[in-house]
Amino acid sequence: MKGCDEYRIAIQLYVDAELNGEDLEEFSTHLQGCAECREEVEAELELSRLLRHAKPLFHAPDALRKRIMKATDGPPGSH
């Protein structure tokens, strides 16, 4: 069985829903018995929630937005 240090990458993959198959099963089993890794997962999930709900610090100027829209052939979802 792996030690917690070897699961550090798996924590981020788990939070990003990128673990699957045997890796997900092995990590889930590890989480059941490891309070330290569960706390780390919870902290990463909370950070993800905060980042999703945070407002941007700066807004792009209208001129830049227009240039980007033109370069990408229109507004999002128009393809």
Average pLDDT score over the chain: 87
Record the pTM: 0.63
Q: Distance between CA 10 and CA 4 in Å, rounded?
A: 10
What does the pLDDT look like over 50-76, one tens digit per residue?
Answer: 988 887 777 889 999 899 888 987 656
pLDDT value for 76: 60
- Amino acid, res. 45: L
19/65 Cα distance (integer angstroms): 36
Residue keyed to tokens 């989480």: 31
Q: Tell me, what's the pLDDT at 57?
A: 72
The Cα 29–Cα 78 span in angstroms is: 44
Q: How confident is the model at residue 33 (pLDDT cuts 50, 70, 90)?
A: very high
- The domains of the chain are located at 4-71
